[in-house]
Amino acid sequence: MGRSDSSLPDVKTRILDAAERLFMENGYAATSVRMITGAAGAPVALVNYHFGSKQGLMEAVYERALGSRSGSRVSYLDKLEAEAAGAPIPVDVLVDAFLSSALRLTRKDSIPGEVFKQLIGRAFYEPGPGTEAFFPAEYKEAVDRYRQAFMRTLPQLSQDDVVWRMYFFVGIVAYAMAGKDVMRMTETYALADAGEPEAIMARLRPFIVAGFQAPAGVPPIGLAST
């Protein structure tokens, strides 16, 4: 006699599990809703019912990998701002806070973290139609909260300066998290610490802090006065 339906994961969970695996294996663009529902043993219509669309399903996969708000970047920033009691938070503390939350997602004992890391890699380095907008709201909120915090800490910089520096920062962290050395530099030079997220983040920290603290108004390359 087969298992009863009550012993199986609910259909929403089965769809999420199948989508997570197929997005990791094939990427977002190459994975169809029919592939997902076929693997989950569910009707196609249930994707729209539970998630609204394929993009909504991808966002749900990300949200599940990120975990609850209690462990999020925003939660940690809430704590830092409460302790600062209105005073600006030092640049190195903000950078450490962002990096430490990224590290929690890359630790090998965290299956959701491994999922998130691989999905980030697919999103950044194997882009396809529709991949631009599926980052969950928590991640977008965290980036904007850090923008506000950096602006309070670096009042000498314009918003454009801060946002560009955050753009570089988040991009570098995503590259390091994904573990995809597309330039093969770690292999070419046999770099120490390659593949070790904590060591990589420790090496990245002073580079990022110095970047945020660099003077504003530097002329574009080729236009600097001689």
Per-residue model confidence as pLDDT tens digits over 161-172: 999 999 999 888
Cα angle for residues 196, 62, 118 (degrees, 5° grid): 35
- pLDDT-derived band at 181, boundaries 50, 70, 90: confident
pLDDT at 29: 80
How many Cα atoms are found within 13 Å in the side-chain-facing hemisphere of 191? Answer: 13
pLDDT at 137: 64
Per-residue model confidence as pLDDT tens digits over 34-92: 999 999 999 999 999 999 999 889 888 877 776 655 455 577 889 999 999 999 999 99
Ranking 93-102, 106-115, 162-171, 192-201 by mean pLDDT, the lowest is 106-115
The better pLDDT of the pair 28, 125 is held by 28
Per-residue model confidence as pLDDT tens digits over 129-179: 555 555 556 677 888 999 999 999 999 999 999 999 999 998 888 777 776
